[in-house]
Amino acid sequence: MAKTSGYSQLVCDRCSKTLYATENAPEAQSWRSVKRYTADGTEVSRLLCPDCYDGYRSMASSQDSAFGDFMAKRGE
């Protein structure tokens, strides 16, 4: 049996989708490592597959807008 080196296992932290690929493989390039902060200031890092990243991006955009609105209403 042949042995091939240089592969990584990517596992989505949200849906558990798994990909075995080399670092420069096109399908691996669309996976994203995201960082965010919890309400108490703890940094959290997660690896997301392309499908879950699309959902995360939409949610993060909504949260960005809500935070912008919050900051614009100082003193209210």
Question: H-type helices in the chain, by residue range?
Answer: 26-29, 50-72
Length in residues, the chain: 76
DSSP state of 9: E
Q: Is the pLDDT at 1 greater than 90, yes or no?
A: no
Q: What tens digit of pLDDT does each residue of 13-66 get? A: 999 999 999 989 999 999 999 999 999 999 999 999 999 999 999 999 999 999
Q: Is 41 helix (H, G, I), strand (E, B) or coil?
A: coil
Answer for the pair 33, 47: CB distance below 8 angstroms, yes or no: yes
Give the HSE-up count for residue 47: Cα atoms under 13 Å, Cβ half-sphere: 12
